[in-house]
Structure 1
Amino acid sequence: MNQDWRGALLLHLLLVLAGSLLVGLLTGHYGWALAIGLAIYLGWTLRQLQRLYHWLNTHQQDEEPPHSHGLWGEVFDSIYRLQRGNQRVRGHLQSVINRMEESTASLRDAIVMLDSDGNLESWNPAAERLLGLKSPQDIGQPVYNLVRHPRFKEYFAAEDYREPLELPSPINEHLRLQIQITLYGQRDHLMLARDVTQVHQLAQMRKDFVANVSHELRTPLTVIAGYLETLLDNAENINPRWARALQQMQQQAGRMQSLLNDLLLLAKLDATDYPADNKPVAVDLLLLTIRNDAQALSGARNHRISLEADPKVRIKGSEAELRSAFSNLVFNAVKYTPDEGEIRIRWWADEQGAHMAVQDSGIGIEAKHLPRLTERFYRVDSSRAANTGGTGLGLAIVKHVLMRHRATLDIASVVGKGSSFVCHFPPTQLEDRA
């Protein structure tokens, strides 16, 4: 509408008044002429309002507003210009939406839009192929009613989407999917599902190969170690020049046996997602046993090993696996802490769950090594590992055990001041006292 609409309205009123006065001058009835003139103008205005109201309630998407003259002509022309502008914007937005739909439809990865409650809103064709979603009957359904894997329900409810989740497809157990969820807007969810079957199969082949080779090497290595032990038991009958060689051979055979045992344990942990013997574990008693073993391992090095454990806090899991993980952390602290150093073991619970911490005053680890410490065979210093008899698999075992118990590992260290390893168990792993 023109910005001078007030002037146009005043001009119309003056014309009505002038016309009415002119008619009153000719007829001699000024009052009636003025009243009739204003009534006619009011009636015409109400008629334009009625046309506008009727158009607003009944017009089709591209139907033009009614035509008129004067001030109401300006009103209808302004509405027409707004209508055309909105149509152009709507057409542009629709073309953008169409291009987005075409691009997502061509993706091989599934894209699923969820509302803040996890109800399905829309998805691309790949989601139907990978997740089995069906349109339109699945619209509005909670996603965890269609992807029924227990780990997915835990993953979705926890709202910790920093790491992706890998699980079988709900419609084909031979299909392996990697699922990643992102929050956006008003806590709406964008879920991506990618087919990683080939990657999973390659990883499984690698694990099977390592497990099979480790299993096959176990028997000949046991025979070799047995004969070496027999020879050393009869060292008085052996040439003294061979005694040192036999001792070194026995030492290296022991290291190889430790390596094979760790590899077989990792293969066992990789075989399933959750411990079979899932029972309440008295972690305080478990840590007490590990603390005594650590004190024996320390021996003459006189480490000060303290234990603070809440006996009321128990978690659900495998005691054997937890023993392996916790003892790895504690024994590492003993190995890499100087004589008469301090090692502190703690076990407690709070609103975030249960926590087990091992802190030492050892040599520490450079920050660049921390992200890779839980990788298999990764060693900060190969010569140091050789001196301590490490296999490079201890922290990898810790990581896998914690993953099977839905837990995480935090590592902090300062060179020359010591290290801290903290295991965090979610509240869902705590024993339900009720």
Structure 2
Amino acid sequence: MYEPYPVPELAREHKKFRYSSLWTFAKQDLRLLAFLLIIGGCIGLGIGYFWICIFAAFSIFFALQLRSLYLVNEWISNRPYDVPPNLDGIWGALLFNVYRAQRQERIVQAEMVGLIDRAQSSLVALAEAVVLIDESHQIEWWNPAAEKLLGIQAADRGRNILTLLRQPSFIEYFNNIDQAPDGLKMKSTGFDEHYVQVKMTRFGGESRLLVAYDVTRMHNLEQMRKDFVDNISHELRTPLTVLSGYIETFTDQEDLNPRWKRAFDQMQSQTRRMNALVNDLLLLSRLENDKKIAKNQIIDMPSLMNQLYDDAHAYNVDYGHELNLDIDSHCDLIGSDTELASAFSNLITNAIKYTPKGGTVTIGWHDDSEQGYFTVEDTGIGIDPKHLPRLTERFYRVDSDRSRQTGGTGLGLAIVKHVLMQHQAHLEIESKENRGSIFKVVFPKERLYHVS
């Protein structure tokens, strides 16, 4: 092991006493005291002043102890990193133990400094930006990548991070990091047309570690995907409308050959399915692009729930389920009525579609003064728990054959997810195979409007 300080002679001399008891060192002082007393006693007997010489022997011993104490104090106060004075007895043992503990502490400190240096060297080499922020929100340290991605300069040390990164989205994330476990994507302050993903973690109270990395390529690919979906969806809409019109015209002819009629019926069914897919893609694209549109309408929830209940009855004609409506909340919602109605309707139609005939579907609106809950409970086929984390992904299907039979596009729950995100809400799903499912939309208190 690396030793930053030399081992003093005292440590070598006293090494054999490392595991000795204090009595071993005390005996040296007792021997000295006994020697002085014997010498003093002999001199005292010889000159006829026995007790005076004994007192003188004690005084000499006491003076030697005071000298040792003075040397110990002087070393600790003025020269703690030098080799300690070479003393015997208890004071020598004390010096040795203090110096040994001090030396071990310095070795540990040297190791910690080396470890910190290696950690800093590693952070400096990272392509990701790393910033340490203290409890007062001031910048303590950063690596070179932070200068490129976040625009931090040498003069920014000790500066409040919120005065450097002033984007409203970052300030909101900084103040509510627990509500965004995936972090925040924002424009880079160091490069134009570049995007960074920012993730913060608390440590040591309110201090924070900020990590940011360049996601420009991923952002551009995502934008290309969105543009492609938007363009292809718009381009498909016109030919599908034309095809649907001609197919409907041919299907309505009375003298149509039965063989052709079956073919036209199948074409019409697939055209409707493609139309539904295109409409869902366009709706999803609009939801993604309209994030900044205000969602501040006051929605009359009893009226909306009754409308959804009536629509569910119309959709339920071919299924014959028992439909129930359960409203025990006096709160309305603040948001977009059309978007929320679309999301709620999506959940209801899914429950009806995936429940065997003659089942039960219950639609509910509740609150507990802190949160609002829109619920859809069914007695349907249920979902294996392993699929639940991925249900809101685009085109994710638990059973592809079943989805085709029911006419699903695989985008319904993705649309629900985007609508809820724009209303600061989230979806909770409880389900067991062959025992039904409960879909619960949870709204924060800020989205509830208490009716007086």
- How do 1:73-152 and structure 2 match up within 5 A? 73-114=92-133, 120-135=139-154, 137-139=156-158, 141=160, 143-144=161-162, 146-152=164-170
The structural deviation recorded for 1:303 is 2.0
Matched, 1:18 2:41: no
> CA contact under 8 A between 1:304 and 1:343: conserved in structure 2?
yes
The structural deviation recorded for 1:387 is 2.0
Task: Find 2:214's aligned residue among 190, 195, 206.
Answer: 195
* Structure 2 counterpart of 1:167: 186
Matched, 1:306 2:295: no
The structural deviation recorded for 1:193 is 1.7
> CA contact under 8 A between 1:161 and 1:181: conserved in structure 2?
no
> CA contact under 8 A between 1:376 and 1:393: conserved in structure 2?
yes
Q: Residues 95-137 of structure 1, C-alpha deviation per residue, up to 9 Å, x if partnerless? A: 1111111011100112234456766443322223323344564
Residues 379-388 or 47-56, more deviating: 47-56
Per the alignment, in what secondary structure is the counterpart of residue 159 of structure 1?
Answer: helix
Q: 1:407 to 1:296 in 2, by over 3 A?
A: same
Matched, 1:382 2:400: yes
The structural deviation recorded for 1:31 is 3.8
Q: Distance in 1 between matches of 2:51 and 2:317?
A: 121
Q: Residues 202-248 of structure 1, C-alpha deviation per residue, up to 9 Å, x if partnerless? A: 11111110111101111222222233334445x23655553333333
* Structure 2 counterpart of 1:290: 308
The structural deviation recorded for 1:360 is 0.5
| C-alpha RMSD over aligned residues | 3.1
Name the aligned partner's letter for residue 166 of structure 1. Answer: K
Per the alignment, in what secondary structure is the counterpart of residue 416 of structure 2?
Answer: helix
Q: Distance in 2 between matches of 1:281 and 1:58?
A: 77
The structural deviation recorded for 1:173 is 6.1
Q: 1:422 to 1:302 in 2, by over 3 A?
A: same
- The percentage of aligned residue pairs carrying the same residue is 42
Structure 2 residues not aligned, in runs of 5+: 1-13
Name the aligned partner's letter for residue 398 of structure 1. Answer: V
Equivalent pairs, count: 431
Q: Distance in 1 between matches of 2:35 and 2:380?
A: 99
Q: Residues 13-64 of structure 1, C-alpha deviation per residue, up to 9 Å, x if partnerless? A: 333433443443344333433444433433333343333333333347x433
Name the aligned partner's letter for residue 412 of structure 1. Answer: E
Task: Find 1:5's aligned residue among 25, 31, 42.
Answer: 25
The structural deviation recorded for 1:420 is 1.6
Task: Find 2:78's aligned residue among 58, 63, 66.
Answer: 58
Q: Distance in 1 between matches of 2:210 and 2:370?
A: 26
With structure 1 as the length reference, what TM-score do the two structures score?
A: 0.87
Q: 1:343 to 1:432 in 2, by over 3 A?
A: closer
- How do 1:329-408 and structure 2 match up within 5 A? 329-350=347-368, 353-408=371-426
Name the aligned partner's letter for residue 18 of structure 1. Answer: I
Name the aligned partner's letter for residue 335 of structure 2. Answer: G
> CA contact under 8 A between 1:115 and 1:188: conserved in structure 2?
yes
> CA contact under 8 A between 2:129 and 2:212: conserved in structure 1?
yes
> CA contact under 8 A between 1:325 and 1:397: conserved in structure 2?
yes
The structural deviation recorded for 1:272 is 4.5
Q: 1:144 to 1:345 in 2, by over 3 A?
A: farther
> CA contact under 8 A between 1:148 and 1:170: conserved in structure 2?
no
The structural deviation recorded for 1:330 is 0.8
